[in-house]
A and B are shown apart, each in its own frame.
Chain A
Amino acid sequence: MLPSITRRSASGLILGLASGLATSKLAFGQDNKYFNVTPGGAFKPIPVAVTPFDGDNGAAISGIISNNFSRSVFLAPVDPNTFPEHITNPDQAPQFDSWKSANAQFVVTGRSAPGADGRLQTQFRLWEVASGTQAAGQQYVTDPNNARRVAHIISDAIFSRITGEKGFFDTRVVFVDETGPAERRRKRLAIMDQDGANVRYLTSGDDLVVTPRFSPSSQDITYMSFGVAEDPKVLLLNIETGQREIVGNFPGMTFAPRFSPDGQKIIMSLEENGISNLYEMDIRSRATTRLSQSSAIDTSPSFSPDGSQIVFDSDRGGSQQLYVMPASGGNAQRISFGDGRYSTPVWSPKGDYIAFTKQGASTFAIGVMKPDGSGERILTEGFHNEGPTWAPNGLFLMFFRDPGGESGPHIFMIDVFGRSEFQVPTPAYASDPAWSPLLS
């Protein structure tokens, strides 16, 4: 039986309706209070105006900073021709309104000049235009020969302050310098600043050198050297002292040595009778442990940044694919399933991605995927891209591209989203880059 509507029940109903409306009005009113902004706009770098620094060394320092930002993808130096004012006193706040109309979100001012003791004094201030406040400010005193490093350190400080990410400018890159005709290439180990400046040679070029790798924790590098009529050797080189030692003599061929995150171990593959397995070696005790037991070719091992896992490539499934296994050995999980052959995996220092080379029908792509194999993203594709290496902040990669023929390889840098790509200037052909950790 339906309840009959009496005066009392009707008034109750009205009250209920009213309170219901009141609450829904509240909810509606709350929605009315917000604009919900989600990502999706076109990517835009943050415009930063690097004004010429005051002082004798000022222009050089600010020039290096500006050049760094022009390759930073996420920051964009404002064109000096549009600067609305000439900064005369770097300690004074700039005219924020006019900088805002010049479309600068940040303004960098500073000075650099030798102090009374002959040491170089460099100061900078980072001003946020929107809030009209100083966002950062520091002073560095150093030997005048270190001027470039000061500029890189300042670049890192600004990059970190604005983006919240770690810097990567105060780093170096070891690479293989290649000179001479294609059939008689002279390959020397060389080192440079990440912007291509300050090139120095570490080996004479008598032996063929390949796959240099930086220690994540020290200024050591490991590389392979092929002497005349000799088995390839894995060598350890301290770039500060120039001291060099052979890591070990192994029967058969050794390949792709790489440091563990703590710099205490080297992981590599050893080839015997057509099969190749993974080994790790303690640098101090030289004790060697076999990690994989396959009858296939396992190679290019790389540790996860926490040292708990290893990614490597293997043809155990028929074609060359990427696998992840515990650092102590054990079951390996395949993580790459796309078309083509995957090789040279490198785990990002942040741990969020694994970079790789992917070989298709006639192209070599550099890409990244998450450690579980998801989110594969090709960053660049073309003929013969190879050998990715991570910047210490995990936001950039360097690799080399060799068009073949009489031409030779060059080193390129790309961000992890594949937005921009730059060639790194080198004195000659260059391949096999290895990015150092942050120097400071």
Chain B
Amino acid sequence: MDASGKPGFIASGAAHAALLVLALVSFSRSPKFEDAPETIPVDLVNLQDVNQIMHGDKSAKQVQPKQRADKVAETVEQKPKPPIAEAKRDVPTPPPPLKRIEDPGEADKIQPDKPAKAAAVPPPPQKSVPLPPIEDREAEAVSPSPKPQVSKEPKKETEQKKEAKKVEPKFKADEIAKLLADAHDPASAKPKSGDDTKDPDRKFSADDIARLLSHEAPQRRAASAKELQQVASLGSPTASAEKMSPSLMAQMEGWFEDHFRGCWVQPITLPQGQRYVPEIRVPLNVDGSLASDPVLMNPPDDPAWRPLAESAMRAVHECDPLPVPDIFKPYYDQWRDRIVRFNDEDM
């Protein structure tokens, strides 16, 4: 067999050879595998956990912020306290500006209420047949009783507020006094760094440090996430307290809704047109009684819906006080200030 007689054979051989070379070259250049990306472990957190974290734990102990050991050591060292007598002298000065702010605010809140309530009691009877004298008489006769009620309670509030506010200036006064005392007492003044003249007798002693440190419990421990979460947060006063299981929550809501339903006498018929669902804010005490007057959050624009709004408001009053079962009382924060919707859609 003559190869030259078969050009196809040559071409085929060359093509195969070329293909082989090309394959070798391309395989040798195959891309390296990328480094494995750095991964981060992610914990799955469900909604309730997040909610619980936000709300805190009512049973948690209040954690007083501690100063770090090194800082404590410093203050302990400078124990000498300013004479209290001097501080007292300075106490009265700070409050005036605060007091002035306090009063107008309170006055503004109370004063408009008074006439409004007094005026609201004797609404002029609608025009029907003659009706002249009743209005004035009514105004005289009826107004005295509610008035004191209106003015009494707010006064209590103001007193409470004043008391609450008084605390602040005291604290400030103490601080100022402390500062002043510090200024007076050379012994209590902070030594400036590098100022050796302040305490010429002071000598460095490793034992002193060891002694000081030994009193202090270690402030930081192993800092794993779990360790950091060891102390439950107290939560804010308006947040939920104890963890409530979904079933208990449903039970609690069902109980309240049933009770309001039982107190509710729905209007006989409802007007046509856009639906209206009265929403009433009901602040409750822990014993189930009304903490303050319920408030209709969305008065109807159309007076035809007024009977529904009024029936809802009457239901809230009718239910006062709610005999809240003991089982729900630990979860006071869950029901202390809810908005009750009276949805009459079934009618």
Binding site for B on A (CB under 8 A): 4-7, 10, 13-14, 21, 24-25, 28-29, 32-46, 74, 89, 91-93, 105, 123, 125, 128-134, 136-142, 157, 163-165, 350, 352, 395
Contacts and interface: CB of A to CB of B under 8 A. Distances in A.
B317 A37 contact: no
A153 B39 CA distance: 82
Given A138-B126, A140-B129, A34 B339 contact: yes
Nearest to B38: A7
Contacts of A352: 269
B130 A141 contact: yes
B129 A21 contact: no
B120 interface: yes
B339 A45 contact: no
B253 interface: yes
A92 B145 CA distance: 10
Contact of B47 (A6, A24, A130, A163): A24
Contacts of B1: none
A121 B155 CA distance: 43
A136 B39 CA distance: 74
B231 interface: no
Interface stretch (B72-80, B89-97, B171-179, B306-314): B306-314
B115 interface: no
Contacts of A21: 45, 47, 50
A37 B131 contact: no
B125 A37 contact: no
A14 B308 CA distance: 47
B125 A38 contact: no
Contact of A45 (B122, B123, B265): B265
Contact of A134 (B47, B121, B260, B308): B121
B39 A165 contact: no
A377 to B, nearest CB: 14
Contacts of B264: 37, 39, 41
Nearest 7 interchain pairs by C-beta: A164-B307, A130-B317, A139-B131, A137-B125, A41-B261, A37-B260, A4-B37
- Size band of the B side of the interface? 35 or more
Contacts of B253: 35
Contacts of A74: 268
Nearest to B278: A37
Interface in B134-163: 134, 137-138, 141-142, 145-146
A275 to B, nearest CB: 40
Contacts of B347: 39
B261 A134 contact: no
Interface string B92-128: 0000000000000000000000000000111101101
Q: Which residue among B123, B253, B264, B265 has the maximum number of chain A CB atoms within 10 Å of its CB?
A: B265
A136 B128 CA distance: 12
A105 B268 contact: no
A36 B277 CA distance: 10
A137 B54 contact: no
Contacts of B341: 34-37
B342 interface: yes
A136 to B, nearest CB: 7
A21 B53 CA distance: 12
Contact of B134 (A24, A40, A123): A123
Interface string B22-51: 000000000000000111101001010011
B338 interface: yes
Contacts of B130: 139, 141
B257 interface: yes
Interface in B54-68: 54
6 contacts: A33-B339, A37-B343, A40-B261, A105-B318, A134-B121, A138-B129
A37 B340 contact: yes
B129 to A, nearest CB: 5
B13 interface: no
B191 interface: no
A116 B136 CA distance: 20
Contact of B345 (A7, A13, A38, A105): A38
B42 A134 contact: no
B283 interface: no
A10 B38 CA distance: 10
A336 B21 CA distance: 93
Contacts of B257: 35-38
A55 B228 CA distance: 79
Given A33-B339, A36-B343, A139-B131, A13 B42 contact: yes
Interface in B231-280: 253, 256-257, 260-262, 264-269, 279
A28 B314 contact: no
Contact of A5 (B39, B50, B146): B39
